[in-house]
Amino acid sequence: MVTIDVKACECLEIFDELVESEVAVLAPHLKSLIDLCLEIAASNAYGDELRVKAVNIVAYLIRLKKKAVIKQRLAQPILEVIFPLMCNPCPGDNDDDDNDLEEQTLPSAAGQALDVMALHLPPSKLLPLLMHHLQGSFENADPHHRKAAFLAISVIAEGCSEFIRYKYLPIFVPVIIRGIQDNDTVVRNAALYAVGQYAEYLQPEISKYASELLPVLFDYLQATCQQLQQGNKNPPTLMRTFYAVERFCENLEDILPYLPTLMNCLTTFLTINTEKSAIVKELAVEAIGSVAAAAKSNFVPYFNPIMGHLQRFISEKHTDETRPLQIQSIDTLAIIARTVGPETFMPLAHDCIKCGILLMTEIDDPDVRRSCYGLFSSVSVVLKSEMAPYLNAIVERMLESIKSLEGISISTSCGDRNTAFTLFEDEDDEEKENGDMNDDNIENLEDASEDDDDVTGYNVENAYVEEKEGACLALKEMSDEVGAPFLNYIEVSFNEVKKLVEHLSDDVRRAAVGTLGQFCITLNDIFTETGNLECRVALETNLGILLPKLFSLAREDTEHTVVLACLETLQNIIDKIKGNALNASYLESVCLLVKDVFKNKLACQDEDANEDDDEQEAEYDNLLLEYAGELIASLIKVVPWNQFAPYLAGLMPFLLAKSKKACTVSEKSFSIGTLADIVSSMQPGSVRPFLNHLQPVFLSGMKEDNEEVRSNAVYGLGVLAQNAGDIVFDQYPVYLQALSNMIAAEEDPRAKDNICGAVARLIQTNIIGVPLTNVFPVFLNSLPLKEDLEENATVYECLNYLYSIRCEQFFQNIPQILKVCSESAVGDKLNEKSVALMRTLLNSIYNEFPNDFESVLKTLPQANAEALVKARLVA
């Protein structure tokens, strides 16, 4: 007998279909539909399947119609339903793997809906509403309410990262630390999950709390290790503890102080032998990979003992239960290969490739193949062209993965699943063998679905999706690292990978886009190095296919990450291939795409047209704006100014609009930073038409509360003065006063460095307009640079200039200048240009004042003195 819930589910299916295909039909009824779904979701009278479906429809509507959700003030009623749902007990709460349940539960659906809200709604609208629910929940006597609060601040970390950094991180971190030490397991697990999420999305700010968080996490690890050594079963916090440690460590810039304690504990886990020790070892091996990624060359002392464990785990015979340990060991080996340095890893490189080829040949498992592809990719960083003998076997297998239809099945209304191959039974053999979810085969699927009303959808197993993605990414990196020997494989690889741009999985589409871009860059690199005209012809052909596809995909794909990949790939092509990639038609297409991003015309942006220009965006939408802005900065470097100037004039108002005082910190930071980059790339004097718009933006930005905005603004002021030249000489008193006010109060190291860069540019552009008697001592006292080391080139250009014009203040301060040079030279942190400029300066001083130079050397610490001598002598 058909129940009311089943009929209700079928009714909601209609809305589900409309949301996916004809959302415009629902737009006038958005509030009514959301109200209906919320009423169903909130009611205990209905079954969980119906309520989950209602929550999912709400989430999908938020994703597609976010502007309407905001304008109709629907965020609050949505939160009032989904947060209480998150507070419900969830099956598997005490098993440490609740997120791995195959069936979606009501609390997990609610959590995913909150994640969607964070990704698609402005944080300034969402966070205050959410805080209303969180305030009492952290202290609630019911552990499931406390768990929900920690899960809530976890799932919003990605979508609201900037807002949390600037507004809520000091509030949340102490709460999370208390949560990690909660008496209840489900709360501890949720708090540990929050640590992992924050470590992934809130860098570098979260690392400032390492001294508070890591000791607690290490205590967990050590206590867990002792329990397991005593033969106890795996504790319920095991996976979440490792997740938190792994995420925190892989993003920790200064892991060295924690390295001995951490590695001692992790290696102990590798020796534990209990009933389920394979899971423990897998988690430990994964964490070791994260530690290696952060430690880089500092991992070398642990290299040999860890390699012994990994070789054993990889070569042992495995069951289905222990196979994940083997796969994770290959993944960690790949990380170590690319981080410890070629000298350390080279003796094992060839054996690793041979081992990987053997494993992917003998074991029919998509996860094994995916991990082997990652290993080949990493080892190519070490072997470079020495990969050539292995390419045939490796690339051939990767292309088989890309072409494969394994893992695709059909869902029908009868509840069964049939492999996708049945759809092709009447097609020719070649299509059976080589088909994929490309244009032709998607049409076949659509045609077949028209003939079969029972088909409700297509399902792709994650392992096979990840295998395709892994194959793409490996081909991408190998083409870059191997170089000329890869040339023979580019054409066939390009032809197969381009079919994945239409794949059902957004992860695969994203990987395919980036890989196709790299193939073009590799062709250009080989042509540049060898003059091979076939490469030039192939490059033009491939760009003729890829660029139009990037333009259309960026506009039509509904997934932000895919669109970001399109914009990033365009930028990489422009940066690496430069003007050779852009004819007049392509230039216009890029600029039109950028304009469409700014005007919210892409499918992944909200379709509502009449939004307020001052309406704040979700952070994911701001990322689109940032990538579009970076495209402008790239174009101006490679396109002749006379050709690009008209396009820039049309795009500049969009960037200026995002620098207004009412805009968010991230909007102002990106817009001012992009404007500064654009000015720095302009031809001298060409900033004149934009001067009256840009100068107020940079001057006001220097007074902002946020240090990143201030840093970008003062850099912008410096390059503006440099580019404008005598046009702004009369403005120097204004500029110098603004710089003086800023440096008097500035505490941020990067902002201070950019103040120095700006002063250096002012001095070189108009020394008469700078009172050096007052300015130069302050300038020197602010050196050496601490964070923005790229500005060292500007600083040393300025010092060489002052020497060349025989500036009195320069010669009066030679001892301090030499001391600054010695501090800059320690640690080999300078780029090639800065090193050359410093060498010129030091030799100028030494040749004219050798005794003074030697006298200063004697006063310096040994490391500084040695670095100074080396900097002068090394050619």
Q: Give the 3-state secondary structure of 6-56.
A: HHHHHHHHHHHHHHHHCHHHHHHHHHHHHHHHHHHHHCCCCCHHHHHHHHH
Beta strands in 770-864 (DSSP E): none
User: pLDDT tens-digit profile of 148-199?
Assistant: 999 999 999 999 998 898 889 999 999 999 999 999 999 999 999 999 999 9
Q: Please report where in the chains the tokens 């002392």 appear, as a residue.
A: 301
Q: With pLDDT > 90 as the criterion, what percentage of the chain qualifies?
A: 68
User: pLDDT tens-digit profile of 35-56?
Assistant: 989 999 998 988 888 899 889 9
List CB contacts of 287: < 8 A, sequence separation 6 or more: 242, 245, 246, 249, 266
- Give the lowest-confidence range in 177-191, 273-287, 516-530: 273-287
The pLDDT of residue 14 is 60
The pLDDT of residue 7 is 63
User: pLDDT tens-digit profile of 685-699?
Assistant: 899 999 999 999 999
The pLDDT of residue 443 is 41
Residue 330 lies in a domain: yes
Q: Please report where in the chains the tokens 């060359």 appear, as a residue.
A: 297
Find the angle CA(158)-CA(163)-CA(168) to the nearest 5 degrees.
Answer: 100
Does residue 465 contact residue 508 with C-beta atoms inside 8 Å?
Answer: yes
Domain that holds residue 325: 210-340
Instruction: Identify the burial level of 293 via C-beta atoms within 10 angstroms of its C-beta, where 0-12 means exposed, 13-18 middle and 19 or more buried.
Output: buried
Residue 794 lies in a domain: no
Which DSSP helix (H) or strand (E) runs through 457?
Answer: strand 455-460
Average pLDDT value for residue range 63-74 = 85
Closest to 74 in 3D by CA, of 84, 61, 89, 85: 61
Question: Where do the H-state alpha helices sit in 72-209?
Answer: 75-86, 106-120, 123-137, 143-155, 161-163, 169-180, 185-201
**Mean pLDDT taken over the chain:** 88
Give the separation between CA 393 and CA 369, rounded to whole angstroms: 13
DSSP label at residue 234: P
Residue 650 lies in a domain: no
Q: With pLDDT > 70 as the criterion, what percentage of the chain qualifies?
A: 88
Instruction: Identify the burial level of 27 via C-beta atoms within 10 angstroms of its C-beta, where 0-12 means exposed, 13-18 middle and 19 or more buried.
Output: middle
Structural domain ending residue among the three candidates 340, 371, 403: 340
Give the separation between CA 147 and CA 168, rounded to whole angstroms: 19
Neighbours of 504 (CB within 10 A): 16
Q: Which amino acid makes up residue 509? A: R
Give the separation between CA 655 and CA 667, rounded to whole angstroms: 9
Does residue 112 contact residue 150 with C-beta atoms inside 8 Å?
Answer: no
Neighbours of 827 (CB within 10 A): 9
760: which 2 tokens?
Answer: 């250096």
- Give the lowest-confidence range in 109-113, 292-296, 470-474, 604-608: 604-608
Does residue 671 contact residue 656 with C-beta atoms inside 8 Å?
Answer: yes
Structural domain ending residue among the three candidates 340, 366, 395: 340
Question: What 3-state DSSP class applies to 248?
Answer: helix
The pLDDT of residue 101 is 42
Residue 576 lies in a domain: no
- Own/partner pairs for 323-328, CB < 8 Å, 24+ apart? 323/365, 323/367, 323/368, 324/278, 324/279, 324/282, 324/367, 325/278, 325/281, 325/282, 325/285, 326/368, 327/365, 327/367, 327/368, 327/371, 328/282, 328/285, 328/286, 328/289, 328/371
Question: What 3-state DSSP class applies to 460?
Answer: strand
DSSP label at residue 618: P
User: pLDDT tens-digit profile of 379-396?
Assistant: 999 999 999 999 999 999
pLDDT bucket at 423, cuts 50 / 70 / 90: very low
| Dihedrals phi, psi of 412, to nearest 5 degrees | -120, 165
Residue 390 lies in a domain: no
Give the separation between CA 218 and CA 579, rounded to whole angstroms: 52
pLDDT value at 91 more than 90: no
Does residue 674 contact residue 682 with C-beta atoms inside 8 Å?
Answer: no
Counting the structural domains of the chain, the total is: 2
pLDDT value at 3 more than 80: no
Q: Please report where in the chains the tokens 């966070």 appear, as a residue.
A: 127
pLDDT value at 760 more than 50: yes
Give the separation between CA 508 and CA 135, rounded to whole angstroms: 40
pLDDT value at 517 more than 70: yes
Average pLDDT value for residue range 501-506 = 93
Give the separation between CA 701 and CA 659, rounded to whole angstroms: 8
pLDDT value at 540 more than 80: yes
DSSP secondary structure letters along 711-774? HHHHHHHHHHHHHHGGGGGGGHHHHHHHHHHHHHH---HHHHHHHHHHHHHHHHH-GGGS-HHH
Q: Which amino acid makes up residue 606? A: D
Residue 848 lies in a domain: yes
Residue 251 lies in a domain: yes
Give bridge partners of residue 411 from the DSSP assignment.
Answer: 417, 457
Does residue 60 contact residue 21 with C-beta atoms inside 8 Å?
Answer: no
Structural domain ending residue among the three candidates 340, 367, 383: 340
Q: Please report where in the chains the tokens 């029908």 appear, as a residue.
A: 412
Residue 723 lies in a domain: no
pLDDT bucket at 411, cuts 50 / 70 / 90: low
Does residue 251 contact residue 200 with C-beta atoms inside 8 Å?
Answer: yes
